[in-house]
Amino acid sequence: MARQTLKMFYPISIKNIRQLKAGDLIQYSGRVLLANEDTIDKYRMYEKLEGTPLLNLSREILFFCKPTENGLRQEPADIGPDDLEYLFMSGVTATAGLDISDKEMCEIYRRFSRVNFSLCNRKFLLPVDTNREIPEEIECGLSVSLKDVLFFVDVSSSGEKFGEV
């Protein structure tokens, strides 16, 4: 039986995120904030020094990636439980591109009712706005618009990892 693909648009509500199950297919159109390991440290440092967040991360999807000639490549970042909790407490709705394999990290997704998406059928993404060049580096707050990108739910809001029994 073929799986139904759910269409989702920016911004995705927490209510919709909580209904997703591991393995669900999502056709997403909208904005994602680009991230890597360094951006989380910069967000935290700014908040510590200035006493206020750098950006409102509420209802955002953070896409962990690396710029390449061909576009943006999903790049699993090595972030720890403290970083993930920080992102979710800052209002991030979902992450994309992280390689989540340990149970402690899955438990954080469950506790905060958040999900992690993975690219389904591509190695690279190209932003919708072709007038903008692919950035050479990921910087805090850098976002791109995507259209009809196919993701699957790698970790559900109940902490289930896709492909695990």
pLDDT of residue 1: 43
pLDDT of residue 134: 62
Domain assignments of the chain as residue spans, ordered by start: 5-155
Q: CA-CA distance, 88 to 108, in Å (whole number)?
A: 9
Provide the 3-class DSSP secondary structure of residue 80: coil
Per residue in 66-99, pLDDT (tens digit) is 877 767 777 777 789 999 999 999 999 999 989 8
Q: CA-CA distance, 46 to 69, in Å (whole number)?
A: 30
pTM score = 0.87
pLDDT of residue 151: 92
Please name the residue that has the structure tokens 């699993």. 76
Q: CA-CA distance, 98 to 141, in Å (whole number)?
A: 18
Per residue in 108-144, pLDDT (tens digit) is 999 999 999 998 866 666 665 655 666 667 777 788 8
Query: 5-155 has which CATH code?
Result: 3.20.130.10
The DSSP secondary structure of 92-140, one letter per residue, reads: --EEES----SHHHHHHHHHHT-EEEEESS-SEE--S-TTSPPPSS--T
pLDDT at 162 > cutoff 60: yes
Q: In whole numbers, what is the pLDDT of the chain averaged over residues? A: 86
Per residue in 144-158, pLDDT (tens digit) is 888 888 999 999 999
Name the pLDDT band for 23 (thresholds 50, 70, 90): very high
